[in-house]
Amino acid sequence: MMGPVLWAMRNLLFGLSRFIAMALACATVTSASNGALADENGVSFWLPGLFGSLAAVPQQPGWSLIVTNYYDSVGASAAVAASREITIGRFNPTVNVNLNVNVNAKLDLGLINPSYVFATPVLGGQLAVGVMGIVGTNNTALDGTLTLASGLGSIMRQGSISQTTTGFGDLYPQAMIRWNSGVNNWMVYGTGDIPVGDYSSTNLANLGIGHGAVDAGGGYTYLNPQTGHEFSAVTGFTYNLINPSTNYQSGVDWHLDWGASQFLSKTVFVGAVGYFYEQISSDTGCAPQLCPFESGVIGIGPQMAVIIPLGSVQAYVNVKAYYEFDAHDRPSGWNGWLTLSLSPSAPVNPRSAMLTK
């Protein structure tokens, strides 16, 4: 859900301004963590790939804990070069700013998500509420050339800057209702961002996004215990609030996560996962010369999972990875997930062994 790797046009020029003072007045470009170029500071609220197989399947009532180690590595080079007409504050002439940069960002996060599933039906379905927190490290590096040209001449500077931020991200409260009818399972969810994580508008690398957000959507899972076939898809939209530090508002984002698997036994399955991420409206609050930004990316990869009975507790371990392609207006790369889920054990019968995670 959250995000963190990208660049947007604000903080790069700020960073390169260490090499040229005039750039301090320009709009800047940043690289931070996994998200979309258009989202401010390169950080999107939604983390593509958060949902996957068995997403809509009802779970056992009681407390559960999901812990995920998320690793993301992205980069971009000539594709992020930009030429913009920017009027710099106290300077009357229009200055042509040309950027040619290499962006590399690595994110190593722990996603911690306790939740509670109610036994009493709500709207005929199963209600679950929880909150997700983030702790980890974001390392971002920029190498590039900045050229400023005006009627006064031109100035070129080359430089490299990097920053590593270790700490806590924002908090993400969430609520879901799931329904089951035979092999068909449905869900609706709502979540949001409480911006309490490590964030500064002048940082190259952040763990928080600096503003609130609201996200809602729905999903479906087909699960056939007889054949072991499973397919899940969850889609939703993100509405971003204004960043009070910058008066910048990111556009509306659409996302779809999917997973398909085949159970090899009652407790082991293999399959594929993927996601689509697309910004459907432009940002506001950025310089007119830099807007609009509307980014997108597609990811796909393999997955494997095993269910481990531990008495009254059931462990679910899932490993998956995504390779990104067809990206526009953003860096791309790959990311990996290692997830451990602990929840109350399911009733002992062949069907339930494949129904809970």
- Assess whether pLDDT exceeds 80 at residue 353: no
Give residue 54's region: left, alpha or beta (phi > 0; psi -120 to 50). Answer: left
Instruction: Give the whole-angstrom CA distance, residue 312 versus residue 310.
Output: 6
Q: Among 7-11, 272-276, 280-284, 325-329, which is the least confidently predicted range?
A: 7-11
Which helix H or strand E contains 8, and what residues bound it? strand 7-8
Contact (Cβ atoms closer than 8 angstroms) between residue 207 and residue 136: yes
43-58 residue pLDDT tens: 578 999 999 999 999 9
pLDDT given at position 183: 97
Helix (H) or strand (E) holding 13: helix 11-16
Q: Give the rounded percent of residues in the chain with a pLDDT score beyond 70.
A: 71
Q: Look up residue 264 and give its DSSP letter.
A: S
Distance CA 11, CA 1 (A): 23
The first and second tokens of residue 202, run together, are: 């002048």
Q: What is the DSSP string of 101-112?
A: EEEEEEEEEEEE
Q: What are phi and psi of 46, to 5 degrees?
A: -80, 135
Least confident of 42-51, 138-147, 311-320, 325-334: 138-147
- Amino acid 76: pLDDT: 63
End-to-end, the C-alpha distance of the chain in Å comes to 19
For residues 140 and 105, the answer to whether their CB atoms sit within 8 Å is yes
pLDDT 10s digits, 99-111: 566 778 899 999 9
Q: Are strands 213-224 and 229-240 parallel, antiparallel or unpaired?
A: antiparallel
Q: Tell me the average pLDDT across 20-24.
A: 30
Amino acid at 45: F
Read off the pLDDT band of 88 (50, 70, 90): very low
- Whether 274 shows a pLDDT value over 80: the answer reads yes
* CA gap 91, 70 in Å, rounded: 45
> 204 pLDDT band (50/70/90 cuts)?
confident
Residue pLDDT, tens place only, 158-187 = 667 788 999 999 999 999 999 999 999 999
Report pLDDT digits (tens) over 327-344: 877 778 999 999 999 999
Output the six-digit token pair for 255: 């996302």
pTM of the model: 0.80
C-alpha pair distances (Å), 167 with each of 67, 110, 189, 286: 17, 11, 28, 28
Cis peptide before 195 (omega within 30 of 0): no
Quote the Cα angle for 107-109-111, to 5°. 145
Does residue 41 contact residue 3 with C-beta atoms inside 8 Å?
no
Check whether 25 has a pLDDT greater than 50.
no
User: Considering the chain, what is the average pLDDT of its residues?
Assistant: 79
Domains in the chain (CATH in brackets) are 7-354 (2.40.128)
Contacts of 347 (CB under 8 A, 6+ apart): none
Q: Tell which wins on pLDDT, 94 or 51.
A: 51
